[in-house]
Amino acid sequence: MNEWLTDFGMFLAQVLSLVVIGGLVVAVAVKARGEVGERTRLRIEELNANREYRRRRLAMAASEPGERKRLLKGFRRDDKSRSRRGRKGRGEPRQTVWVLDFHGDIRASATGRLGEEVSALLDTAGEGDEVVIRLESAGGLVHAYGLAAAELDRLRAAKLRTTVCVDKVAASGGYLMACAADQLRAAPFAVLGSIGVVAQLPNVHRLLKRHDIDVELLTAGRYKRTLTVFGENTEEGRAKFREDLETIHSLFKRHVAERRRHLDIETVATGEVWYGSEALEQGLVDALGTSEAYLAERMKDARVISLKLEPKRKLSERLGLAVSRGVERAVERGLEVLEAGRWQKR
């Protein structure tokens, strides 16, 4: 038994050595090539083709064994027919629907990528094309979401028809972005609105004073610092801070009112949120429905293409990510087994 374990251990050591050597060779080769090349790569998916592929697979799975050969012949015939029409240039050119995704965090950190994607579309999209943005964000920093909204406004300025689809949430800064759309659609239970501004910070001045700790705050400019965390806040500072919040709120309301002119801005700019069907009644959205349903409808008469800029990862990052995912899957599987064990009969 001990001899078997020794042999097995030697085998594992040899395999591990080969993996490490192979990784070093690849790393050296990548390093030798240098960092020349783009820092991002463009990922493109033709959603029509993906949907047709799934439809065919399901049709094959649901058919009787004797019918599958007939279905395959029909699929090949359809492919040849489309190919011949393409070579002969028959028919009018189909409209293209371009699909972008934006998932926002508090810093709107995906804005840089969104701006590059918008630039790529402005260089490529033709007359009559449409851009669909699947947007999900609960808002965040004012300046960050102001920039994200400005990137979407570039599509509007270029007279590209723009549709924003909200499946889950577009609130506060997320709704600021969504207003750039010519058409705004939301799922029935999506959360929209929150046209308001909020700011908060703790103040530990009394705690520091109780322990005889002084904080010196020196400023040049009357309102350089209105409220502080460590110093003693004044009524004048609080009043100025509230004034600044009201100014931002006014800018927010003006932005929304200019893009959704039929909206009663004073009624909806209270900081409240509405669910999809309620948002439709308030005029915050134009139609109800999920992004998947809308894109499926557009596929009937247009090519629907999803595009996304992704960062190129270094070899070490890819290996680390693969190991991390493997560990996560192992832990999740272990938790699933433990959870399932609770329901097993004993």
Place of tokens 């019918």: 67
Q: Which of 114, 130, 117, 264 is nearest to 177 (CA)?
A: 114
3-state class (DSSP) for residue 97 = strand
Q: Which of 226, 171, 220 is nearest to 201 (CA)?
A: 226
* 166 bridge partner residues: 135, 186
> Which of these is catalytic: 63, 73, 168, 172?
172
End-to-end CA distance of the chain: 35
**Residue 142 near residue 67 (C-beta atoms within 8 A):** no
3-state class (DSSP) for residue 168 = strand
Residues 6+ apart with CB under 8 A from 65: none
* 161 bridge partner residues: 130
172 tagged catalytic: yes
Dist CA 281 CA 82 (whole Å): 44
Residue type for position 24: L
**What Rg value do the Cα atoms of the chain yield, rounded?**
28
Residue type for position 298: R
> Which of these is catalytic: 88, 224, 300, 345?
224
Dist CA 67 CA 21 (whole Å): 52
Task: Encode 133-161: b = buried (16+ Cβ within 10 Å), e = exposed.
Answer: bbbbbbbbebebbbbbbbbbbbbbeeebb
3-state class (DSSP) for residue 171 = strand
308 tagged catalytic: no
Dist CA 285 CA 270 (whole Å): 17
3-state class (DSSP) for residue 136 = strand
**Residue 324 near residue 65 (C-beta atoms within 8 A):** no
Residues with catalytic roles: 172, 224
